[in-house]
C-alpha cells in the first residue's frame, strides 16, 4: 500500500488555510484540494507491505516519544513545477521543533530498514494541483494564524480519479 507519515494540522489552522485557498482560487486556476486533505508530510514511504506498516508504526511511536506539540506558522506561498502547471503550496516555517521531529522520524524509519523519499524536508501544505499561476500580482491574502500541531499519523494513500484519499492507519498524540 502507498503510505506517508504526516503532521496533522490543527483545526483552526486548517480552517484558515482553507479560507486562504478560497481567496487564492479567485486569482489562480487549478484543482484546489479539499481542506480534509491538508497535512504536512514528514516522510513519504511509497509502497510498503503489512510488515512495513508494522515497522513504520514503531518508527512513528519512537520518533514522537516525549515530543511536545509542534508550532505551525505560515511562511509564504510557493510552487513546485512550471507556472503553467504547478503544485501550489503554503509554506510552513522551519521551526526547530518541526525540523527535529522530521529528522527523528527519518532516523527511526532508516533504523528499521524502511525506504522513504530522501529529498530534503521542505515543510509545506499542498493547496492546489495543476495550478496556472498568473503573471500579475496576487491580491492581498490573509495567511493562517499561528497554531500548534498535536498529532502525527501514518496514512494510507489511495489514488482515485478525483484525487488521493487518505486513510489514517496509526496516530500518535504529541504530549511532551
pLDDT greater at residue 82 or residue 156: 156
Q: Report pLDDT for 101.
A: 98
Per-residue model confidence as pLDDT tens digits over 34-91 = 999 999 999 999 999 999 999 999 999 999 999 999 999 999 999 999 888 899 999 9
Q: Which neighbouring-strand residues pair with 156? A: 3, 167
Residue 7 CA to residue 151 CA, distance in Å, equals 6
Cβ-contact 9, 156 below 8 angstroms: no
Using the predicted structure, report yes or no on whether residue 141 has a pLDDT greater than 70.
Answer: yes
Q: Report pLDDT for 105.
A: 98
Q: Report pLDDT for 176.
A: 64
Per-residue model confidence as pLDDT tens digits over 85-115 = 899 999 999 999 999 999 999 999 999 999 9
Q: Which neighbouring-strand residues pair with 71? A: 148
Residue 113 CA to residue 107 CA, distance in Å, equals 10
Question: Cell 527523528 belongs to which residue?
Answer: 104
Q: Report pLDDT for 143.
A: 95
Amino acid at each position: 500500500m502507498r503510505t506517508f507519515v504526516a503532521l496533522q494540522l490543527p483545526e483552526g489552522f486548517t480552517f484558515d488555510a482553507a479560507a486562504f485557498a478560497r481567496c487564492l482560487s479567485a486569482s489562480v486556476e487549478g484543482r484546489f484540494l479539499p481542506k480534509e486533505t491538508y497535512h504536512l508530510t514528514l516522510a513519504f514511504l511509497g509502497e510498503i507491505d503489512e510488515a512495513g506498516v508494522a515497522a513504520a508504526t514503531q518508527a512513528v511511536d519512537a520518533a514522537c516519544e516525549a515530543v511536545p506539540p509542534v508550532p505551525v506558522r505560515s511562511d509564504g506561498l510557493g510552487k513546485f513545477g512550471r507556472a503553467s502547471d504547478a503544485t501550489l503550496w503554503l509554506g510552513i516555517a522551519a521551526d526547530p521543533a518541526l525540523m527535529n521531529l522530521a529528522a527523528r522520524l527519518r532516523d527511526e524509519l532508516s533504523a528499521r530498514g524502511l525506504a522513504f523519499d530522501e529529498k530534503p524536508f521542505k515543510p509545506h501544505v499542498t493547496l492546489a494541483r495543476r495550478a496556472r499561476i498568473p503573471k500579475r500580482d496576487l491580491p492581498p491574502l490573509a495567511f493562517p494564524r499561528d497554531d500548534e500541531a498535536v498529532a502525527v499519523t501514518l496514512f494510507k494513500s489511495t489514488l482515485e480519479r478525483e484525487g488521493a484519499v487518505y486513510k489514517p492507519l496509526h496516530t500518535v498524540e504529541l504530549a511532551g
